[in-house]
A and B are shown apart, each in its own frame.
Chain A
């Protein structure tokens, strides 16, 4: 603090003394600082904000995405979408996605993280193994599951069927497809939560843990009453992140089923994509994109609000 107070006088020693030069020194520094910020901000604005605003405009038009010509069609894109049962299948699947991801990967992440807390030697090894599916490309993971596990002709499912265990190919089943797809995405994702939760748990003050041990608390009680309250903020933030990304789910659905069979695994991401790139109804695609963003944005506001303390540290 004292050092930072010295700076202007130090600068003044080099420049001619006086209030005016000190002010211009600060003005010059402000301009330099904005110049340093500008490229990152500008790139983000050009790629994300400008097309984002155009999406909002396009959602009220019949734009085909090919040129600049489009007619204003009012709310008809939205009324068409809300009259389409596939949209509600997609919305329902996104909600299933949220519920699945908020329970299974979170539970696995918490369980494995709490078990790893006291294993100093094997901790790194387990984290690396758990993260392996997370660092691989969705294309690779999806193709692996598609061809060697879910495949009824040569995959594990086919192997079981050949030996009389009559399970249906999960990706071809109307009731199972969304869960089969979510299963692959969760398999790839949960290890990430292990790492996050473990990182947060390790911030817990050791005195609290020792105090609980002295009082004779067992492992579960320590987890429940010491670690869990300490990682509350992380749990909450990751929960909001999961909600956001569940409404944006795309890769695994598109790669494994393209939303099929008969739209049974459709999510809003694939539903919007099909409008744009299968039928060139960019206006409708934009409308779905806007609806998706609405759900994401609500969660995003919550996320920004929750992390405000971290942001303004």
Chain B
């Protein structure tokens, strides 16, 4: 009786979990099956399974969405943002974790506030400033803005990882006469490498997926990121759904591959990030 009801609740639990997995996946599955169907078939019945494999959808999407250039711009943007956040947040996280300056609680409070500030509070003068300096449509410059926005998250994460470095390790290094930069390079870096991967992949996804700042600052067709290139297809291809879905597929696949490959870091990073502030 007891065992029977336990099996029942286990099965019920599995069914509930599976239903929610379906809710998450169904829209993505719809993209997958419709990306290889002719547009007429999509319009007729989006739920039917494909009968052939329409490669032309992908070729059209690639050229009309300007995805070659989009990949390049998105890579430049993401690399700029990730590089800046990793270097600067490690330096700051190291100092804050060791409470090495007296004002450290104040700086922590500052970054907490900065993390929750709305983009609309600084977007308009920032846009105007960028226009005055001729930095609109400059992909690396926009990467710097995204780095500033992601900095608080990076600082908190790196601080958490530096908290795990035993103080004895650092003391011993100082006794041996190691300078600060040697210390970071040879002693701290290996210990906090998982933290760097976590911050890198989460901030990288943020930059890769960003919409508000990039769509405002990158208006030229030469500087569009991958997502903006795909978005520009919407007007012309909103009736050509097969091509739209193929475009979506081209954007979804690389992100999911990176996410699945690094899922441990993403899941741990998200989970610990909120618990630790």
Q: How large is the interface on A (under 10, 10 to 19, 20 to 34, 35 or more residues)?
A: 35 or more
Residues of A within 8 A of B185 (CB): none
Residues of A with C-beta under 8 A to B231: 139, 143, 255
Contacting residues of chain A (177-217) with chain B, CB-CB under 8 angstroms: 187, 191-192, 195-196, 198-200, 203
**Which of B13, B21, B87 contacts A130, CB < 8 Å?**
B21
Q: With A and B bound together, what is the CA distance between A271 and B118 in angstroms?
A: 14
Find chain B residues with CB under 8 A from A148 CB. Answer: 27, 30-31, 34, 42, 46, 241, 244-245
Chain B, 87-113, CB within 8 A of any chain A CB: 87-89, 91-92, 94-96, 100-101, 105, 107-113
Q: Which of B31, B122, B155 has the most CB of A within 10 A?
A: B122
Chain A CB within 10 A, most for which of B87, B100, B123, B234: B123
* B256 in contact with A311 (CB, 8 Å): no
From B148, B154, B267, A48 is in contact (CB under 8 Å) with B148
Say yes or no: is A153 at the interface (Cβ < 8 Å to chain B): yes
- The answer to whether A10 and B155 touch across the interface, beta carbons within 8 angstroms, is no
Closest to B226 in A: A137
Q: Which residue of A lies closest to B274 (CB)?
A: A196
Q: Is B20 an interface residue (CB 8 A)?
A: yes
Chain B contacts for A131, CB-based, 8 A: 259, 263, 266-267, 270
- The verdict on A4 contacting B171 (CB below 8 Å), with A139-B211, A159-B46 known, is yes
**Complex contacts, A39 vs chain B, CB 8 Å:** 87-88, 91-92
B246-263 CB mask vs A (1 if < 8 Å, else 0) is: 001001100110011001
Contact call A303/B116, Cβ cutoff below 8 A:
yes
Which residues of chain A come closer than 8 Å to B248, judged between CB atoms?
A: 140, 143-144
User: A139 with B20: in contact, given A7-B174, A200-B275, A272-B120 (CB under 8 Å)?
Assistant: no
A46 to B227, CA, bound (A): 27
A47 in contact with B124 (CB, 8 Å): no
B180 neighbours in A (Cβ, 8 Å): 32, 36
| CA gap between A10 and B144 in the complex, in Å | 41
CA of A9 to CA of B87 in the docked complex: distance in angstroms? 32
Docked complex Cα distance between A139 and B101 (Å): 42
Please determine whether A52 and B112 come into contact, CB atoms closer than 8 angstroms.
no
Residue of B nearest to A32 (CB): B180
Complex CA–CA separation, A118 to B228 (angstroms) = 42
Task: Answer whether residue A228 sits at the interface, using C-beta atoms and an 8 A cutoff.
Answer: no
Q: A132-B259, A199-B275, A269-B120 are in contact. Are A137 and B211 (CB under 8 A)?
A: yes
Query: A51-B125, A304-B109 are contacts. A46–B270 as well, Cβ < 8 Å?
Result: no
B69 at interface by CB-CB < 8 Å: no
B21 A33 Cβ-Cβ under 8 A: no
A:134-170 near B, CB below 8 Å: 135-141, 143-149, 151, 153-156, 158-159
Contact of B271 with A10 in the complex, beta carbons under 8 Å: no
* Complexed CA–CA distance, A8 and B205 (Å): 44
Q: How far is the CA of A205 from the CA of B126 in the complex (A)?
A: 48
List of B residues within 8 angstroms of A155 by Cβ: 46
Per the 8 Å Cβ criterion, residues 283-302 of A in contact with B are 285-286, 288-290, 292-293, 296-297, 299-300
With A139-B230, A203-B275, A219-B9 known as contacts, the answer to whether A65 contacts B24 (CB < 8 A) is no
The answer to whether A33 touches B174, judged by C-beta atoms less than 8 angstroms apart, is no
Query: When the two chains form their complex, are residues B24 and A147 in contact, meaning their CB atoms are under 8 A apart?
Result: no
A300 touches B92 (CB 8 A): no
* A76 at interface, CB cutoff 8 A: no
User: Which residues of A are found within 8 Å of B89, using beta-carbon distances?
Assistant: 40
Measured in the bound complex, the distance between the Cα atoms of B238 and A92 in whole Å is 31
| B270 / chain A contacts, CB cutoff of 8 Å | 131, 192, 195-196, 199
Chain A residues engaging chain B, CB cutoff 8 angstroms: 3-4, 6-7, 10-11, 14, 29-30, 32-34, 36-37, 39-41, 43-44, 46-52, 54-55, 58, 65-66, 108, 111-112, 115-116, 119, 122, 124, 126-133, 135-141, 143-149, 151, 153-156, 158-159, 187, 191-192, 195-196, 198-200, 203, 219, 234, 237-238, 241, 244, 247-248, 250-251, 254-255, 268-269, 272-273, 276-277, 282, 285-286, 288-290, 292-293, 296-297, 299-300, 303-304, 307-308, 310-313
18 more CB-based (< 8 A) A-B contacts, given A58-B125, A156-B46:
A32-B180, A37-B92, A43-B147, A55-B121, A127-B263, A135-B255, A136-B251, A139-B230, A141-B27, A147-B238, A148-B245, A158-B46, A187-B24, A199-B271, A282-B124, A296-B117, A307-B277, A311-B108
Sampled A-B contacts (23; CB under 8 Å): A7-B174, A33-B95, A36-B94, A43-B148, A52-B122, A54-B125, A129-B21, A129-B24, A136-B251, A144-B27, A147-B244, A154-B43, A199-B272, A199-B274, A200-B275, A237-B277, A250-B120, A269-B120, A289-B123, A300-B113, A310-B275, A310-B276, A310-B277
